[in-house]
Amino acid sequence: MASFNLAVIKGDGIGPEIVDEALKVLEAIGEKYDHKFNFTEVAAGGCAIDCCGQCLPKETVDICKASDSVILGAVGGPKWDNVPGDQRPERALLGLRENLGLYANLRPAIIHNALSDASPIKKEIVGDSLDILIVRELTGGIYFGDRGYRDGKYGTEAYDTEAYSEMEIRRIAKVAFEAAMSRDKRLTSVDKANVLESSRFWRKTIIDMAKEYPEVTLDHMYVDNAAMQLVRNPKHFDVIVTSNIFGDILSDEASQITGSIGMLPSASIGEGAFGMYEPIHGSAPDIAGQNIANPIATILSMAMMLRYTFKLDDEANAIEAAVTKVLNDGFRTADIATKGVQAIGTKQMGELIIKALN
Ligand code: NAD
C-alpha cells in the first residue's frame, strides 16, 4: 500500500467546506486503489492571523516542506481588510510559493460538455467542450525583477524589469512539454518576441528544448494575438506555456471563457514534482458556511495532484470521470444551476461524486 503525507491548509471563508469534500474524495480513492493518505492540517491566511498572529506561521512552512504535497482551500476575507498590506491573509500565498519553490503554475480551462451553455462565447466557437492547459512561470520575470524609481527624461520615473535566465525558461518548458506529451501533444509558446529581448531569448530556448520532444507540435504566438485567439478560436490551444505576467492575464481570460469559477482547479509545482493544489477561486466570504459552495474545483485539484505529483493517472481519471458523470446526471450546485434546476449543496455534491467513483 502506497502512503502519502499531505499538508492541508483549509484557510478562510468557504475553504474548510470545500476542502472537507475533497479530502473525503481522496479517502474514497485510497480505499478503491489501496493507498493511504495521511492529512496534517496547518494554518495559513486569515485564520492563521487569528490563531498565531501571522498569515504564514513558520510551523506551516516547515510541515508543508516535509510533506509530499500541499492542499489549499482559499484565504482572505473582509474580516482582515484592515490588516497592513504585507501581513494580509493573501500574502500567505506568495510566501508559500516562494518558500516551497513553486515555479510552475498549471491552470486548466475546461468546459464540460454538460456545462457548455455557461460559456459567454458562442457555441459554434467553443463547441460542446473545451480543454486548455495554461502553464505559467510563477517565480521569475517582471514580478520578481529589479524595480524602483530613478531620474528619467521627464523627471521621476518608476520601472520594473522583465528578465529570464535560460535555467528558468528550460525548467518551465520541461513542465509544459511533458504536460503536452500526456495530452494532445500540441504546445503553444506565448511571448512578445517582436518587441522584447527577454521574449526572443524565451523563444530561442523553447525551440532548442523542442528537440527533446519531437512528438510535440510546437507553435509560437505573440501575447496580443494569443489574447485574441483565446476568444476567437480557443480550440487552437492544447497546452500554452508563457511567462509570469502573460500567464497571469491569459489564465484569467481563459477561466472566464469557461463561465464557471467554481469548477476550475490549479496546481503550483516545484522541484521533484512537489506541488500545491488549490481551486482558482477565492474564499467567497459571501456564501461561506451555508453549504452552497461548489466543491468541484477543489475536488478536481485532487485529480491534478494525483496526476502531476504522484503519477497516479488512473486515480486522477477516475475523479474526473466521476465529476463528469454527476454533471451529466444533471446535478448542479447553485453557481452552475440553470433556471428551473434544483441546486444541491456542497456536501451532497461531494457525496454524489464519491458515489460515482464507486
Ligand atoms: P472569489 O473567487 O472568492 O468570489 C468571486 C465570486 O464567485 C463570489 O460571488 C463567490 O461567491 C463566487 N464563488 C467563488 N468560488 C465559488 C465556489 N466554489 N462556489 C460557488 N461560488 C463561488 O473572489 P473575491 O470575492 O474577489 O475574493 C474573496 C476573498 O478571497 C478575498 O479576500 C480575496 O483576496 C481572496 N482570494 C483568495 C484566493 C486564494 O486563496 N487563492 C484567490 C482569489 C481571491
Report DSSP letters for 21-51, one per residue: HHHHHHHHHHHHHTEEEEEEE---SHHHHHH
293 and 349 in a single domain? The answer is: yes
Give the domain CATH number at 343.
3.40.718.10
Bridge partners for 160 per DSSP: 147
Q: Could you count the other beta carbons within 10 Å of the beta carbon of residue 288?
A: 17
Residue 204 has pLDDT above 90, yes or no: yes
Greater confidence, 326 or 113? 326
Find out whether the beta carbon of 93 lies less than 6 Å from any atom of ligand 1: yes
127 and 231 in a single domain? The answer is: yes
As to burial, measured by CB atoms within 10 angstroms (0-12 exposed, 13-18 middle, 19+ buried), residue 144 is middle
92 and 176 in a single domain? The answer is: no
Backbone φ, ψ for residue 18 (5° rounding): -75, -35
Residue 260 has pLDDT above 90, yes or no: no
- Exposure letters 55-65 (e unless 16+ CB within 10 A, then b): bbbeebbebbe
Q: Could you count the other beta carbons within 10 Å of the beta carbon of residue 158?
A: 9
Residue 259 has pLDDT above 90, yes or no: no
Q: How many domains does the chain have?
A: 2
Write down the catalytic residue from 219, 252, 286, 329: 252
End-of-domain residue from the set 258, 274, 307: 258
Find out whether the beta carbon of 15 lies less than 6 Å from any atom of ligand 1: no
**pLDDT for the residue numbered 62:** 98
Pairing of strands 275-279, 69-74: parallel
| pLDDT tens sequence across 130-159 | 999 999 999 999 998 999 999 999 999 999
Nearest to 328 by CA among 24, 116, 25: 116
Find out whether the beta carbon of 320 lies less than 6 Å from any atom of ligand 1: no
Q: Which atom of ligand 1 is nearest to the CA of 73?
A: 40
Q: Which atom of ligand 1 is nearest to the CA of 335?
A: 20
57 and 138 in a single domain? The answer is: no
User: Which cell goes with 340?
Assistant: 428551473
Rg (CA), the chain: 20
Confidence of residue 301 (pLDDT cuts 50, 70, 90): very high
Residues making up the chain, counted from first to last:
358
pTM: 0.92
- What share of the chain has pLDDT > 90, as a percent? 87
User: Which cell goes with 249?
Assistant: 492575464
What CA–CA distance (Å, rounded) separates 285 from 99? 27
What CA–CA distance (Å, rounded) separates 64 from 98? 12
End-of-domain residue from the set 228, 258, 288: 258
Give Dmax over CA atoms of the chain in angstroms. 68
Residue 118 has pLDDT above 90, yes or no: no
Determine the average pLDDT of the residues in 222-234: 97
Q: Per the domain annotation, does 114 fall within a domain?
A: no
Amino acid at 18: I
141 and 227 in a single domain? The answer is: yes
Residue 170 C-alpha to ligand 1 middle, in angstroms? Answer: 33
| pLDDT tens sequence across 149-194 | 999 999 999 999 999 999 999 999 999 999 999 899 999 999 999 9
Nearest to 281 by CA among 303, 266, 291, 300: 266
The helix or strand, by DSSP H or E, that contains position 104, with its residue range, turns out to be strand 104-111
Residue 294 C-alpha to ligand 1 middle, in angstroms? Answer: 11
Q: Which residues have C-beta within 8 Å of that of residue 19, sequence separation ≥ 6?
A: 8, 10, 11, 71, 72, 73, 298
346 and 268 in a single domain? The answer is: yes
What CA–CA distance (Å, rounded) separates 350 from 25? 7
Residue 250 has pLDDT above 90, yes or no: yes
Ligand 1: residue of 14, 261, 298 to mutate (most ligand atoms within 8 A of CB) is 261
For the residues of 122-169, what is the DSSP string, one character each? -HHHHTT-EEEEEEEE-SSGGGTS-EEEEEETTEEEEEE-----HHHH
**29 is in which domain, residue-wise?**
1-105+264-358
Write down the catalytic residue from 24, 131, 143, 184: 143
What CA–CA distance (Å, rounded) separates 134 from 126? 17
Residue 311 has pLDDT above 90, yes or no: yes
User: Which of these ranges, 15-29, 115-129, 234-248, 264-278, has the smallest mean pLDDT?
Assistant: 115-129
6 and 83 in a single domain? The answer is: yes
As to burial, measured by CB atoms within 10 angstroms (0-12 exposed, 13-18 middle, 19+ buried), residue 232 is exposed
Q: Per the domain annotation, does 113 fall within a domain?
A: no
Annotation marks residue 143 as catalytic: yes
CA distances 12 to 22, 81, 170, 267, 338, Å, are 16, 13, 36, 19, 28
307 and 221 in a single domain? The answer is: no
Residue 117 has pLDDT above 90, yes or no: no
Residue 262 has pLDDT above 90, yes or no: yes
Confidence of residue 61 (pLDDT cuts 50, 70, 90): very high
Residue with cell 480557443: 234
135 and 236 in a single domain? The answer is: yes
Residue 321 has pLDDT above 90, yes or no: yes
